[in-house]
Amino acid sequence: MNKIKFFIFFQMILLSGFAQDNKTDTVVFGANHIVHKDQRVDLFGKKMSEYNESLALKIQLVNGYRLMLLNTTDRDLAMKVRSSLLQQFPDQKVYMTFQSPYIKLKIGNFIDNAEAEKFKKQIIDQKIVPGNIYLLNEKVEQKPTDKTVVPVEE
C-alpha cells in the first residue's frame, strides 16, 4: 500500500513540473526584477474594456416624464390616435399597453418637465387626442451621449 501511495505521489510531482507552459509567458525585465506575465491577462483586459465601452453605449433608464394621452376601452380609437401620433411625431416613441379592459397610450421620453409641457401643448394645439393629457413621472429611456466626439475649436 505504501508503494502505491509513493508511486502516485511521485507521478504527481513529475506532472506538476509540466503544468506551467513557458511558451505563452512573456518575460519583462525591470531594474532589479523579472516579471513573468501571461499574455491572456492582456487579452482579458482588452475584452473587459470593450465590454465596458459597449455598456456605456446602451440605452439607460432614468427618472423622467411621459404623457398619458389615452385610457380607453375603444381599440379603434386607440389605433387611430397611435397612427396619427406616429405620423406627426416620428422621432417620439409611442407606448401602447393593455390592462384589461383598458388600452393606455403614452408618448415620449422626456428628461425635463418643461420639455414635456411644451410637447403637451403641441399635441393639444393639433387636437390629435380627444380628452385630457396627463404628465406622468416614470422611468424613461435616455440615449447615451457620444463621448468620442470632440468639439471642433474655431
Q: What is the DSSP string of 9-41?
A: HHHHHHHHHTSS-TTSEEEEE-SS-EEEEEHHH
Dist. CA 25–CA 2, nearest whole Å: 38
pTM: 0.59
Cα–Cα distance measured from residue 138 to residue 93, given in angstroms and rounded to the nearest whole number = 14
The pLDDT tens digits for 61-84 are 899 999 999 999 999 999 999 999
Instruction: Kindly indicate the confidence band of residue 152, based on its pLDDT and cuts at 50, 70 and 90.
Output: very low
Most distant CA atoms of the chain, gap in Å: 95
Residue whose cell numbers read 439607460: 60
Superfamily for domain range 60-142:
Sporulation related repeat (3.30.70.1070)
- What residue ranges do the domains of the chain occupy? 25-55, 60-142
